[in-house]
Structure formats: C-alpha cells, structure tokens
C-alpha cells in the first residue's frame, strides 16, 4: 500500500511512535542494507533519543557484503549497535534477542537490585515502508501476524509477541516516512523497490541505476549485458542494452520503457549480483 505522507500524517505517525516508546526498553530500527541511510527516517535520532537502539541491516542477503561491513563500522563509530539480518530466510535473526539484552543490561540490573523480578526485554520495530518490518515480526513470532496495513492512524489494541523467554515485541511496528524530498535518496529508494512502481518514472530511475553501475560495478554491467566496453554516454549505454536484448519498436528504435523495466527488475532480483547503492563515503 502506498502512503501519501502529508504533514498531518507525519505528525500523527510521530505521536503514535512516541506513545509506543513509553512501553518499551529498546528500539529495533530496520533499514535496508542496500541503502542504509537512504532508508532511514530523517528525524530518527531525535524521535528515539530516549531509548537504546539496535540498527538491523535487513535484506543483507541482497547487499554487497564488503560494503555492509563498512556500514557496520560507520554505525559502530557513532555508538550505534548493528546486526546484519535476512528476515526472509531468518539468517541473523536468532541473535537479535541477546543483542537487545546486552543493550538494556544496565537497566535490568538496576531493576533487579531494587528487588524487582527480572522480566523480558520489550522492543518495538521501527522503519520506513517496505524495509521488511512485517517479515521480521512474522519471523520472530514464528507465525503469520496479520499485516495491519502501512497506514499510519490505524489503531488497534497493542499485543506483545513473546520471542523466547528473553524478548517481547509489540505486534505492530512503528512506520516512519523516508527522506523523500532529497532527489538522490528518492532514486535510491525507487531503485530498490521501496516506492510503489506506479508512482515512478522508470526511465529516470534506470538512467540513475546505469550511471551507478557504470561507476561502481562496471564488470557486472559488462557481463550481464554482454558489452565489450561501456559507452561513456549513459544514454548510449541504455540504447546498447535495449538493442542487445532486442527491445525494439517499429523503425528499429529502442523501446526505452521496456529496457528500463528490465534493468530495474534485474537489479532488484539480484541478476546483477548482490550490490549496495550507497557507501558511508557518499555522505562525507
């Protein structure tokens, strides 16, 4: 479901999350490992400043492992704990509970010192649409929890999902908006499929993707599209790929819509391999 984020929606989403934060000990901030900053909410630091946070680099199965390691270092240097996970297969998900416990150890120790009974750590999953919040909740719950819809403003009774003895999770995630006013960030979100395709200009995104591949993954581009060399001009490159794939219209013109669609589909389905669309250096 596409969300239209209006100022009113943003304020409401923020208010709802602030309410949920009162009930929990730790926030699991879910980001897409292929775009770890572009898939963050621009106000996240301010919104969750009161709680310890674990950044979960989800879809790590699709990201470039060497760059994921760079991102882990980036967050570590900022004092933010991370874990790489793949919510779809469950890889890495088993470490979440113990990592969460480490983050709130001091708080729990203090409670025990005061004579309170130790209890499970309570957590909230937060993230922008499509980063995999529902997939992760279902994975942790080991069953299918109905998706409540990516609509801020839908309220229902909060329930806790027990994850082993150590962790309890709110069954509805907190949904935040991405930083869509920034054009490059918008293109990165679009390239990974984080924005509904009906809203997109495929050709514009494909041109962005080709420029990116040419710079960061030229060998894969050559191999996938059987190119001997990569033309300097990105439109020529677009043309050549269309011709190689035989996407021609009447008069022998390349069908750009079809070519753009294939480039995006292949990027998203890992036909171009595991890749990451941004590095920490891009933000320096």
List binding-site positions for GTP.
58-61, 130-135, 174
We find the least distance from the C-beta atom of residue 60 to ligand GDP, in angstroms, to be 7
**Cβ closest to ligand GDP, residue 136 vs residue 237:** 136
Q: Are 9 and 153 in contact (CB under 8 A)?
A: yes
- Closest CB to ligand GDP: residue number: 132
Indicate whether 276 belongs to the interface with ligand GDP (CB under 6 A): no
CA 121 to chain centre: 24
Indicate whether 132 belongs to the interface with ligand GDP (CB under 6 A): yes
Q: Which two tokens stand for residue 29?
A: 């901030």
Which of 25, 29, 72, 86 forms a contact with ligand GDP (CB under 6 A)? 86
We find the least distance from the C-beta atom of residue 232 to ligand GDP, in angstroms, to be 34
C-alpha distance from residue 95 to each of 48, 54, 82, 184 (Å): 22, 12, 11, 33
Q: Which two tokens stand for residue 162?
A: 């027990």
Q: Which two tokens stand for residue 112?
A: 């025990």
Distance CA 90, CA 94 (A): 8
Q: Residue 177's closest CA among 57, 39, 26?
A: 39
**Cβ closest to ligand GDP, residue 52 vs residue 132:** 132
**Cβ closest to ligand GDP, residue 62 vs residue 67:** 62
Q: Which two tokens stand for residue 225?
A: 């599209």
111-130 positions binding ligand GDP, by CB under 6 A: 127, 129-130
Indicate whether 87 belongs to the interface with ligand GDP (CB under 6 A): yes
Site string for ligand GDP, 56-85 (x = CB under 6 A): --xx-xx-----------------------
Which of 39, 68, 84, 134 forms a contact with ligand GDP (CB under 6 A)? 134
DSSP letter (8 states) at residue 32: E
Return all residues near 82 (Cβ < 8 A) that are at least 6 apart: 54, 55, 56, 57, 71, 72, 75, 76
We find the least distance from the C-beta atom of residue 135 to ligand GDP, in angstroms, to be 3
Indicate whether 135 belongs to the interface with ligand GDP (CB under 6 A): yes
User: How many positions of this chain bind ligand GDP (CB under 6 A)?
Assistant: 16
Main-chain phi, psi angles of 162, to 5 degrees: -85, 130
Residue ranges that bind ligand GDP, judged by CB under 6 A: 58-59, 61-62, 86-88, 127, 129-135, 150
């Amino acid at each position: 479901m596409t969300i239209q984020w209006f100022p009113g929606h943003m304020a409401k989403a923020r208010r709802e999350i602030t309410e949920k934060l009162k009930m929990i000990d730790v926030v699991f901030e879910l980001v897409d490992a292929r775009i770890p900053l572009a898939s963050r909410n621009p106000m996240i630091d301010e919104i969750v400043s009161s709680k310890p946070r674990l950044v979960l680099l989800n879809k790590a199965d699709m990201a470039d492992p060497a760059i994921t390691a760079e991102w882990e270092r980036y967050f570590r240097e900022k004092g933010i704990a991370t874990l790489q996970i793949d919510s779809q297969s469950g890889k890495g998900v088993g470490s979440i509970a113990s990592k969460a416990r480490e983050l709130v150890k001091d708080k729990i120790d203090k409670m025990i010192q005061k004579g309170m009974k130790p209890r499970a750590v309570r957590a909230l999953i937060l993230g922008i649409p499509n980063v995999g919040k529902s997939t992760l909740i279902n994975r942790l719950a080991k069953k299918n929890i109905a998706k409540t819809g990516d609509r801020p403003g839908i309220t229902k009774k909060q329930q806790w999902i027990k994850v082993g003895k150590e962790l309890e999770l709110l069954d509805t995630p907190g949904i935040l908006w991405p930083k869509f006013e920034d054009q490059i960030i918008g293109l990165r979100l679009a390239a990974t499929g984080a924005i509904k395709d009906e809203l997109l200009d495929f050709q514009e995104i494909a041109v962005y993707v080709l420029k990116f591949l040419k710079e960061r993954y030229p060998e894969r581009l050559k191999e996938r599209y059987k190119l001997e060399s990569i033309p300097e001009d990105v439109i020529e490159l677009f043309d050549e790929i269309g011709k190689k794939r035989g996407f021609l219209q009447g008069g022998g013109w390349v069908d750009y819509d079809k070519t753009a669609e294939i480039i995006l589909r292949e990027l998203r389905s890992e036909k171009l391999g595991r890749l990451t669309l941004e590095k920490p250096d891009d933000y320096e």
